[in-house]
A and B are shown apart, each in its own frame.
Chain A
Amino acid sequence: MLEITEGSLAVAEAVGKCRPQVIAAYPITPQTHIVEALAEMVANCEIDAEYITVESEFSALSACLGASAAGSRVYSATTSQGLALMFEVCFNCAGMRLPVVMSIVNRAMGAPLSIWNDQQDSVSLRDSGWLQLYAEDNQEATDLHYLAYKVSEDHRILLPSFVCFDGFILSHTYEPVDTISQEQADSYLPPFKPFQRLDAADPISFGLFAAPDYYTEFRYEIDQAAKRALSVIPKAGKEFAELFGRDYSGLVEGYRLEDADCALVAMGSICGTVKDAIDEMRDAGKKVGLLKIRTFRPFPSDEVKKALSGVGRVAVLDKNISLGSKGAMALEVRDALYGSQIPVYDYIIALGGRDVRKKDIARVVSLAEEGKGDLFYGLREEVLQ
C-alpha cells in the first residue's frame, strides 16, 4: 500500500514489522523520530517489545548485545556522536557474532558540531565487522531493514548490520512508500533462531579472551562471514523481489552505465540527484552513468570491477574523508580497478549537509574529463588563499 509518510516513520513502521523483541536506543538528532515512534508503538501495544530507555548510546548497544546473546531479536538506531560512543561495543557485537540490526541516520562527525548529513559516521566504522547497507530513498531505507535482519541472522553470516540512510534528506522527508503488511513481513522474515544463546539448560561462555595463538583465527572467521554476505545478500534480495517486486539483489546498481565514458560512483540519497543530472547530461549528448553502491561492507569489489570495466574514467563522490588520505569509497574503487588503466578521481563532497545540485554533478564530470580530481569539491575561496 502506497503511503506518503516521513522517512523516519516509514522506517519505524518497518522495524516494528520485523518484530524486534528488545529495543534499546538513545535519542539524537536526526534519529529521534524513529525511536519516538517505536516508543509510541510499544506504549500502545502495537508491537510486543521490551523497550529499554538507556542512559546513553554506549548502554543502548551494550544492552542490545546482552539481549541478543540471550536469544532475542534486537534493534537500535543512532547517528554520528552516538555511533562514536558505541565504537567499542560495535567491534564487540561483530566479534561475538551477534546479529544486531541498527539504523544509522547518517550525520557528520564533530568537531565542529554539525547535525547535518554526510556519511562520515558509519563509514568510519567500516573496519568493525558490521555489514553496511546504504539507502537511496525512503522505500529502500524501509525495505533494507527486512533484508538486514534476514542476512544478519543467517547462520552462515551471524554479523550485525547497519542500515544507513541520510539524515534529514531522507529521515525528515515525506515520500510515497509502499508498506508491506505484517503477514507479508512474517512470510519474509521468520522468528529469530539464535545459533547459540545464554541458557542455563546449556551453559556456554561468550566473550572469552584469546591469546595470540587463537586471536587471528577469530578475525579470519569474521572476515570470511562478511565475505559470504556477498552471496547471501543477493539471495535475500532476490527473495524479497519475488515477494514484493522491489529488487535489491544487486550489491551495486548501474544507471545508464552501458556505454558511459564517465562513471560516477556514489552511495545513499545523492544517487537521486546524480541520476537526474545524468539524464540531463545524456540529453545534451554526454555519455555519463552512475554506479550506486548499496553494500559498502562487505565491499563488492568484483561487482564494481565488472560494472566499471568498460568506462573511460571514474568519478567517486565521497561524503566522507579518511583525513590525511582519501575518501573511503575512492580507496575501495581504486583497489577494485587495480591493474586496469581506468583513472579514478575522488571528490569529497556534501560534507556536513552542504547541498549538492545537478550542476555540481555536471561540474564534477567536467573536472574528471579535465583529469582533475582528488579534491574537496566546492571549497570556499578563502581557505584556498
Chain B
Amino acid sequence: MNDEAACVLFDSGHRACGGCAAAMAARLILDAAGKDTIVVSSTGCMEVFSTPYPETAWGVPWIHSLFENNSAVASGVVASLKKQGRKEKVIALGGDGATFDIGMLCLSGAFERGHDFTYICYDNEAYMNTGIQRSGATPYDASTTTSPAGSCSFGNSRPKKDLPMILAAHGAPYVATASIAYPPDFKKKVEKAVNTPGPCYIQVHAPCCTGWGFEGEKTVAIGKLAIETGLWVNYEMENGVVTKVKKVVRKPVDDYLVGQKRFRHLFKPKRNDAEIAKIQALADRNAVKFGIDITLKK
C-alpha cells in the first residue's frame, strides 16, 4: 500500500509529541496490515493521542476498552467475527505497561487459547501516558519517575522482562521483535504476523523523546543505536525457534546511553564505569545469545 492510503488509515491529525515513535508504529502497522483490520487498543499514549472525542485518527475500525484488557477484548472480537463468518484481521495494540505488566493475565490467557490475532506491543519502556513511571520493560539503570536515580540509586534496578520468550513458550507460531528505526523490516513482520494463523506477537522498539529525554528528530537515530549496540535485538521466532536475527558491527553501549537523559546519571558528574560495565555485559550476553556480531575481515 502506498503512503497516501496509509495516511487515511492512521491520520496525521493526532496529538502525539513531535517525533513520537508510537505514532510512526501505528502508521507502519496499518500500512502493512491494510484496511481490513480491526485494532484493539489499550489505555496509554497511543489511545489518548489518537482519539480525543469527537475526533479519531483511525481509518480502520478501532476499539479501546481498558488499560489491561486488549487481549481479552480481541479474543471476543475474533470469536465474534468467526461466528459471523467475517474475515477481518484483528490486531491488539498495547504499550509496554499494558503488555508486560497489567495486561499479562489477559495476554497469557489469549495466547494459551490460541485465538487468531496479532498482538503488537509498542515498547517505549515505561508508562509514558501517566508521566514516565517504570514498567517491566524499563531497561536496567534507566531513571524514571518511580525509579529515579539518586544518591543511593542508579535508576531502575531490574533488567527488562523477556516477554517475547514468554509468549513463544505459550506456543505462539510467530514471535518477532522490531524497531521503528527499520520500517521495511517492521512492516514485513507485521504482514507475516497477520497472515499467520494463531496468536502472534511483535514487540516494536519505540523510542520516546519525551520520556527518554532526547530531541524529537533523533528518534530514528536512537532506535538505530539500540540495535547497533546490541541492547535491542531484532529477531524472528517461528514455533519457538529463532529463525532470523539482525546482525551488526557492534558499537559500545555508551553510544546509545549518552544521548538520553534517562541515563545521564551514568555519565555525570563522571562516567560510572561499574554500572556501564553491567549494561555492556547485558549487550554482550545478547550478542552471544543471538549471534548478532558481524566479524569484519582484517
The interface of chain A, by Cβ under 8 A from chain B, is 21-22, 24, 49-50, 52-56, 58-59, 62-72, 74, 88-89, 92, 96, 198-200, 203-211, 214
Q: A118 CB to closest chain B CB, in angstroms?
A: 28
The reply to whether B108 and A55 contact each other, CB–CB distance below 8 Å, is: yes
The reply to whether A63 and B76 contact each other, CB–CB distance below 8 Å, is: yes
**Cα distance A96–B59 in the bound complex, in angstroms:** 19
The reply to whether B54 and A214 contact each other, CB–CB distance below 8 Å, is: yes
Q: A17 CB to closest chain B CB, in angstroms?
A: 17
**Cα distance A209–B84 in the bound complex, in angstroms:** 29
6 residue pairs bridging A and B, Cβ less than 8 Å apart: A22-B80, A53-B113, A63-B73, A66-B80, A200-B35, A209-B53
Residues of A within 8 A of B109 (CB): 54-56, 59
Interface residues of B in 24-75 (CB under 8 A from A): 35-38, 40, 47-48, 51-54, 56, 58-66, 68-69, 71-75
The interface of chain B, by Cβ under 8 A from chain A, is 35-38, 40, 47-48, 51-54, 56, 58-66, 68-69, 71-77, 79-84, 88, 105-106, 108-110, 112-113
**Cα distance A89–B69 in the bound complex, in angstroms:** 9
For A205, the closest partner residue in chain B by CB is: B56
| Interchain CB contact (< 8 A) of A71 among B68, B73, B80 | B80
For B59, the closest partner residue in chain A by CB is: A203
**Cα distance A62–B109 in the bound complex, in angstroms:** 12
Q: B14 CB to closest chain A CB, in angstroms?
A: 12
**Cα distance A145–B168 in the bound complex, in angstroms:** 41
Residues of B within 8 A of A49 (CB): 83
Residues of A within 8 A of B75 (CB): 24, 52, 54, 59, 62-63, 66
| Interchain CB contact (< 8 A) of A200 among B56, B84, B88 | B88
The reply to whether A59 and B72 contact each other, CB–CB distance below 8 Å, is: yes
The reply to whether B76 and A74 contact each other, CB–CB distance below 8 Å, is: yes
The reply to whether A21 and B69 contact each other, CB–CB distance below 8 Å, is: no
Residues of B within 8 A of A52 (CB): 75-76, 79, 113
Residues of B within 8 A of A74 (CB): 76, 80
| Interchain CB contact (< 8 A) of B60 among A21, A22, A200 | A200
| Interchain CB contact (< 8 A) of A58 among B61, B74, B105, B110 | B105
Given A62-B72, A62-B106, A198-B63, A205:B58 Cβ within 8 A: yes
For A24, the closest partner residue in chain B by CB is: B76
Residues of A within 8 A of B112 (CB): 55
| Interchain CB contact (< 8 A) of B53 among A63, A71, A92, A211 | A211
The reply to whether B83 and A21 contact each other, CB–CB distance below 8 Å, is: yes
Q: B114 CB to closest chain A CB, in angstroms?
A: 11
Q: Report, nearest first, the 6 A-B pairs whose CB atoms are least far apart.
A: A66-B76, A55-B109, A63-B76, A62-B72, A67-B76, A66-B73
Q: A168 CB to closest chain B CB, in angstroms?
A: 29
**Cα distance A92–B72 in the bound complex, in angstroms:** 14
Given A56-B109, A71-B80, A205:B63 Cβ within 8 A: yes
Q: A94 CB to closest chain B CB, in angstroms?
A: 12
The reply to whether A66 and B84 contact each other, CB–CB distance below 8 Å, is: no
Q: A365 CB to closest chain B CB, in angstroms?
A: 47
Q: B84 CB to closest chain A CB, in angstroms?
A: 6
**Cα distance A53–B66 in the bound complex, in angstroms:** 20
Residues of A within 8 A of B105 (CB): 55-56, 58-59
**Cα distance A52–B110 in the bound complex, in angstroms:** 10
**Cα distance A72–B47 in the bound complex, in angstroms:** 24
Q: B123 CB to closest chain A CB, in angstroms?
A: 22
| Interchain CB contact (< 8 A) of A63 among B35, B72, B83 | B72
